[in-house]
């Protein structure tokens, strides 16, 4: 029986915000498998901020090729396998990309134990680019400890919403989120139990930080960069840890990135600014995943998911992520 793969391919590299002219919808019959390959029916794709950077030439993350699918992590079910490690019906996680059916080398896939958590959790609370990223950023890089005042930017998104909750579980005394819009600040305080939240689109971030953290900021988990990073740097204390997880405010102009103006505060306060990518902690994934799974099972962490539909909407949903049109983890059911 022939199977048709429906996919979105990149036809040109965007400058600034991507639009329809950069992508094409294609239908194509799935070719027979070679030895060592697995055919996966994609269920959900995680729409992550890194996807935007893969559209640029020479990106840090393995770039999308012109004419090729767009990199994205996903979960799905094995339809056919020519590898001894996978069988029809297995639930798997891997770099499945912007398509409905993915022919994958077996070594790129991970078989999921859905007794631990439902498959979608491996894109969110337990996910490499969400839960694990937040975990290593808060625990290993930020070294959050009892009594700390922690600020998180991009706080209502996937990584940010996890980072704030993990900071609290790590002993932080006060967790303050920064996000765009009152519906997001309400979500942070009411649903995720942050102590306070700042609406950077409608409030003066510096003034609000002065009110909410009068004794200064011990740890800043930054997803955004730009002016928000500068506002926080002005308010760090002796020994602060600034965690550079990402800088989404800069991703649509990567050839003209704006660095922090107030970086001399690091010297004045004997503070550190340390960046990381989650794969730098590959040796520690089991520790992170074990802890996240325990918190997840106990209901200590909440991951709100927003599920959009249709592989043909992949470009629009990617733009939705960049413009903040979602709460928590943005997923695409293909």
Contact positions vs ligand NAP (CB under 6 A): 48-50, 129, 133, 154, 156-160, 179-181, 184, 223-224, 245-249, 276-278, 321-322, 324, 326, 330
Burial label for 327, CB within 10 Å (0-12, 13-18, 19+), is: buried
CB closer to ligand NAP out of 81 and 185: 185
CB of 253 to ligand NAP, least distance (A): 11
Tell me how far the alpha carbon of residue 292 is from its chain's centroid: 15
Helix, strand, coil abundance in the chain, percent, nearest 5: 35, 25, 40
Which of helix, strand or coil describes residue 312?
helix
CB of 241 to ligand NAP, least distance (A): 15
Q: Are 179 and 160 in contact (CB under 8 A)?
A: yes
CB of 137 to ligand NAP, least distance (A): 7
CB closer to ligand NAP out of 189 and 322: 322
Q: How many CB atoms lie within 10 A of CB 244?
A: 18
Q: Which residue do the tokens 């055919």 mark?
A: 39
CB closer to ligand NAP out of 14 and 181: 181
CB closer to ligand NAP out of 48 and 218: 48
CB closer to ligand NAP out of 76 and 180: 180
CB closer to ligand NAP out of 123 and 236: 123
**Bridge partners, 305 (sequence order):** 329
CA angle centred on 244, ends 240 and 245, rounded to 5°: 130
**Bridge partners, 328 (sequence order):** 157
CB of 255 to ligand NAP, least distance (A): 17
CB closer to ligand NAP out of 16 and 32: 16
**Residue among 108, 36, 28, 125 nearest 71 (CA):** 108
Q: Are 222 and 245 in contact (CB under 8 A)?
A: yes
CB of 225 to ligand NAP, least distance (A): 8
CB of 61 to ligand NAP, least distance (A): 9
CB of 206 to ligand NAP, least distance (A): 15
* Phi, psi angle pair for 187, to nearest 5°: -55, -45
Tell me how far the alpha carbon of residue 201 is from its chain's centroid: 21
CB of 123 to ligand NAP, least distance (A): 10
Q: Are 178 and 244 in contact (CB under 8 A)?
A: no
CB closer to ligand NAP out of 79 and 302: 302
* Cβ-Cβ contacts under 8 Å for 111 (sequence gap 6 or more): 85, 86, 90, 91, 92
């Amino acid at each position: 029986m022939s199977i048709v793969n429906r996919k979105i391919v990149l036809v040109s590299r965007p400058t600034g915000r991507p639009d329809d002219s950069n992508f094409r919808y294609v239908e194509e019959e799935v070719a027979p498998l070679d030895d060592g390959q697995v055919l996966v029916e994609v269920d959900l794709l995680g729409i992550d901020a890194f996807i935007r950077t893969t559209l640029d030439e020479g990106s840090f993350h393995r770039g999308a090729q012109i004419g090729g699918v767009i990199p994205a992590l996903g979960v799905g079910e094995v339809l056919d396998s020519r590898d001894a490690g996978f069988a029809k019906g297995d639930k798997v996680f891997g770099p499945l990309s912007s398509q409905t059916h993915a022919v994958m080398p077996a070594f790129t896939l991970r078989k999921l134990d859905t007794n631990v958590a439902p498959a979608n959790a491996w894109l969110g609370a337990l996910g490499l680019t969400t839960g694990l990223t937040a975990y290593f950023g808060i625990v290993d890089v930020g070294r959050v400890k009892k009594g700390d005042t922690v600020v998180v930017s991009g706080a209502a998104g996937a990584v940010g919403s996890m980072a704030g909750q993990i900071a609290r579980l790590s002993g932080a005394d006060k967790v303050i989120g920064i996000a765009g819009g009152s519906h997001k600040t309400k979500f942070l305080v009411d649903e995720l139990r942050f102590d306070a939240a700042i609406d950077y689109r409608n409030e003066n971030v510096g003034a609000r930080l002065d009110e909410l953290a009068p004794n200064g900021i011990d740890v800043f988990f930054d997803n955004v960069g730009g002016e928000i990073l500068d506002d926080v740097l002005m308010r760090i204390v002796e020994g602060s840890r600034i965690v550079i997880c990402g800088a989404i405010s800069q991703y649509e102009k990567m050839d003209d990135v704006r660095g922090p103006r107030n970086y001399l505060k690091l010297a004045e306060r004997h503070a550190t600014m340390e960046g990381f990518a989650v794969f730098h902690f590959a040796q520690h994934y089991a520790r992170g995943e074990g802890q996240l799974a325990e918190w997840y099972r106990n209901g200590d962490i909440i991951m709100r998911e927003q599920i959009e539909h249709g592989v043909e909407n992949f470009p629009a949903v990617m733009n939705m992520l960049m413009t903040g049109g979602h709460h928590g983890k943005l997923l695409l059911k293909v």
